[in-house]
Structures are given as C-alpha cells and as structure tokens.
Structure 1
Amino acid sequence: MSAGFADIDWARPWLAPIEPRGKRWQAAALTGYADYLATLNEDASAAALFTGRGRPLAFIAQEELPAGASYEGHIAQTGRVPTRHNLHDFFNGSMWFAYPRIKAVLNARQAEQIDERGIGPTRGGVRDGLTLFDENAVLFACADAALADSLRGFQWRALFIDQRAAWGTRCEARIFGHALLEKLVAPYKACTGHAWIVDVPADYFTLDDAGRRALIDERIAQSVLDAPLDSRAFAPLPVLGVPGWWGANASPDFYDDVSVFRPGRRNR
C-alpha cells in the first residue's frame, strides 16, 4: 500500500535537505512497491554507498529478510536493507543518502552488539541508545557554547526567544531520526526529538546545504563511533519550537506551554 506517501508536504522546512531525491522516491512509491525499490537501488548504485562493514548498499523487500535474521546484522553482513512500502522506511532510506557516515557507524555498532550479545528479548543499553539515535535524533549544529548550554538546561526562552537571531547563523537543527520524520508528516506541537549536539566552526554557516551535511556527517560519525550512548547523551528538543519551522512559534506565547517546553529536572 502507498497510504501516507501522498501526505508528504515538501514545503516543510525540515524536509529541505532530502526534497530533491525524496520527490522522485515519493512518485515511485505512489506507482508501486517494485518501482519504489528500483528507484532506491538506482540511486544507491549511483551514490556508491556502503554499510558499516563496507558492503555496497542496496534495498530489498522486507520479505527477503531471512527468518531469524536480525535486521541490523543482515544489513552489515550483506549490504541489503530490508525496506517496507511505508513512510517509516522511506525516511530511513533517505537518511542513508543524507548522512551516510552516521548511518554506517550506527549500523556497525549495532552489528557489533548483536555479535557480542546475540538477539534477546531486550536490546541492552548500547543498542537502545543506538536505536534512539537512529529513530529520533535531531542534529544540533552549534558554534556558540552558550546556545548549547541553553538547550541542555531547558532554557527555552533564551534559546528560542532571546537568541532567536542566532538560528541559522550560530546554530541550527537538522532532523535525522526517521521515526521523528514520519511523525512530522502530520505535525503536532509536542513532537520532541533527542538532540545530539555537535560543535561546528563559525564558517559552517557560510556553507551550502551539501557542505553543512558533509561536515556534520563526518564529525558526528566520529563522535558516535566510541561514545557511550544512552538517554543522557541527548537533550530533548521540541522541534516545532525551532524558529522558522512553525508559523505559530513567531509569537513568544507559543513557548509558554509547559506541557511541551518543560522546565526539566536540571533547572529544578
């Protein structure tokens, strides 16, 4: 089924980095599952992408995943990404192209954990952290430590109102988590991502979109390679609070909703 693909609104600012390829994928997905997979594989072949263990990337139908095989382990070993005909896997595939180094590192670390611990009823702390990143991360690129401190400290007024002019010149947010992107096809105020903060030089903000993505893809991939990943490594970020992402947040009153913009334990 192609239900949901027609609902993607490419005017949403958080989709801008994946729009050109995404529109072609959307058209193929609306035509049918086979056309969709063929389009993904044409792009994968042209981009020469690789998995966490250096296998050339390709996309296969979900039913081709062998019985009993782990999803991440299969990708690492074979290079083939089981892909359903739905929005969740649509955005997952998009991230392999937008941030290939980060995706490869996440896959490699997942596969290592599976090799060491096997597949059990629970993932374990490291795999939970890797999954959280993959599903719900927001990449917060920042050239001003005070802004990063405001995010970590739940200082929403400082981050979104007092320093509003800093967005796009000293900090920015980029959505990476494919489950979060799926939710944002039908946005609601409480949509919250897990922000991974990455320091960038001031001239990062003079680069075009491709240059910015390449820089943070490399930096974050390196930081995720050895990082202890758990919920404490992230900072919650209500994504519709990002200036320019939602019309209603032009009013300072938007941020007074403490059910969304919570004070947090660190402030209390």
Structure 2
Amino acid sequence: MQLRETGHDAAPAGAGALPGFAAIDWSQPWFAQFARRGLRWQQAALTGYAALLAEMNADAAEMRLTTGRGQRLAFIAQDDLPAGAAYEAHIASTGCVPTRHNLHDFFNGSMWFAFPRIKAALNARQSAAIDALGVGPTRGGVRDTLTLFDENALLFACADPALSMALRGFDWQTLLVARRDAWGTSCEVRCFGHALLEKLIAPFKACTGHAWIVDVPAAYFEWDAAARDAWLDESVSTALLGTEALTSRMFAPLPVLGIPGWWPENESSAFYDDASVFRAGRRSR
C-alpha cells in the first residue's frame, strides 16, 4: 500500500521500508531505553503493516492511554485519515494516530508509550493552536517550538546547575570532559524526538538534538529507570502546558554522539576538538 503524506513532519511516503526496521540496533544507548517494547514492535513491523498496527493497538488498549483531550488512544492506517483533516486535530478529536509503515512513525508511536503525558501535552497545545488559528501556510512560533520538541528533543535531566549552565553556555569542555564523571550521577539524557531517533539509525558525528533542560532532585539518580521516566513525563508535560510563550531559545543544542558513554570515540578528549560540531555558540544566551 502506498501511504499518502499527512502534513506531519516525516520522511516521504514509502520511505523506511523493511531494511530500515531491521537496522534498529537496540543495544545503542539512544534505542536501549525503548528496547523492551521496541523489539516486539520491530518483529511485528517486519511481518507487515497490519501486524505493526495490531501490536501498537494491543499495547494502547492495555495501558489505556489517552490524547491531550482525553480521547482513548489508537493507531490507524495513514489512509484512514480523512481528506483535509489536520493531523494533530484529528488525534485530539478522535484519539486515532495516523501511522505509516516506516521508521518515523514507528518511533513516534513509541514515544506515546515512553512519555505519554508529554505526547498528550504536545497534542493538546498543537490542537488548541489549530482551533484558534486554523491551518495556515506557517505554524507560528509556538507550534514551531512544539514541533521541534516532538521531532528533535532530548530530555536533559540535571541536578547540578553548573552542568545546566555549561550546556546553555556551549562549554563542552566542562560538560563533556572535565565533569564527565557527573554523567549518570548528576545528569543524564533521554531521547524523545522521533525524527532524531530515525536519524540515529545511521549515527553521524554532527547529529544534534535540542536539549530541554529538566531540573531534577538529587534523589532522582537513586531511582530506577521507570521512576525517572515517570517523573520526567509529569514534570515536562506540566511545563509544556503551563508555559504560554514557548520559543526555540528554550532549547540548547547537544551533539548526541558527544554524550559520555554513548559513543566509543568520545572516550578520547580529542573527539571534542572538532569545532564544526562542538561549536562555541552564542554564549550570551
């Protein structure tokens, strides 16, 4: 089945065929956090489109997930999106997420399970903006920021303000070299953006996410992964719903392969000498 484009940012229809699904390496740290469910979905996707939708919907029914307007979540084939319907508005009003048989939508669906409150908050804000302003040639600043979050965000959980300041200030030597031992004890990253995850199928040094800084208590790093994710889900969704003036300057760029422990080559401090990737940036931010 040829899948038509929907208006949500994605690879072209027909992209991300079966070799793409087979290429997911769940041992990579950016995928490992989703591996338990992802492995099942991957096998279903390799079986076929209908099998993937069935697996996603079985999980959605079991977890009783809802959208930003409280509609029960379900995943539908792309061709079931009514002609002329806005993607986010359709999800909000019906609970049905149009989903193609490709990597982009596979990872988008994964985020509804990994961080359901954040996805619901993004959908609520997007659909409210569509209700107020309609669907025009441009999204506007708030919707652009929401889309950037949805597509390319990293969640930077941090209990040490000096590390957050280093990230904001493009101080890579402090964040990634001098304070390397702080990763896992005072800061860590969760991937969120589904387009970012799609790019990381074939990782490259310049691949950069938009880090959303989340201040966490020191005790956060004593919790298990499920408790951490639940805390991030609640905290970030509350911020997204409660911050009226969302702008792209609320993010900080972070090259993914520079994250300590995420790429073998960054064990050498020389890895960070590449100024084309680890840029000086705008230190006045």
User: After TM superposition, is the score higher than 0.5?
Assistant: yes
Equivalence for 1:243: 260
> Shift of the alpha carbon at 1:135?
0.2
Equivalence for 1:172: 188
> Shift of the alpha carbon at 1:136?
0.3
Matches within 5 A, 1:144-183: 144-183=160-199
Matches within 5 A, 1:76-91: 76-91=92-107
Can you list the C-alpha shifts for 1:98-126, whole angstroms capped at 9, x where unaligned? 00000000000000000000011111111
Query: Which amino acid counterpart does residue 256 of structure 1 have in structure 2?
Result: D
Equivalence for 1:222: 238
Matches within 5 A, 1:43-192: 43-192=59-208
CA contact (8 A) 1:243 1:250 kept: yes
1:193 aligns with 2:212: no
Moved over 3 A (4+): none
Aligned length: 268
Equivalence for 1:261: 278
SS at match of 1:4: helix
Distance 1:166 1:222 in 2: 27
- More displaced 10-residue stretch of structure 1: 219-228 or 60-69: 219-228
CA contact (8 A) 1:44 1:57 kept: yes
> Shift of the alpha carbon at 1:174?
0.7
> Shift of the alpha carbon at 1:20?
0.5
Can you list the C-alpha shifts for 1:41-95, whole angstroms capped at 9, x where unaligned? 0000001100000000000000100000000000000000000000000000000
> Shift of the alpha carbon at 1:243?
0.4
- Please give the root-mean-square deviation of Cα atoms over the aligned residues, in Å: 1.0
Unaligned runs of 5+ in 1: none
Query: What's the % identity of the aligned pairs?
Result: 68
Can you list the C-alpha shifts for 1:240-261, whole angstroms capped at 9, x where unaligned? 1000000000000000000000
Query: Which amino acid counterpart does residue 61 of structure 1 have in structure 2?
Result: A
Can you list the C-alpha shifts for 1:16-57, whole angstroms capped at 9, x where unaligned? 221010000000000000001000000000011000000000
Structure with the larger helix share:
1
Can you list the C-alpha shifts for 1:204-237, whole angstroms capped at 9, x where unaligned? 0111110100001100111111222221010000
CA contact (8 A) 1:105 1:221 kept: yes
> Shift of the alpha carbon at 1:267?
6.1
Unaligned runs of 5+ in 2: 1-16
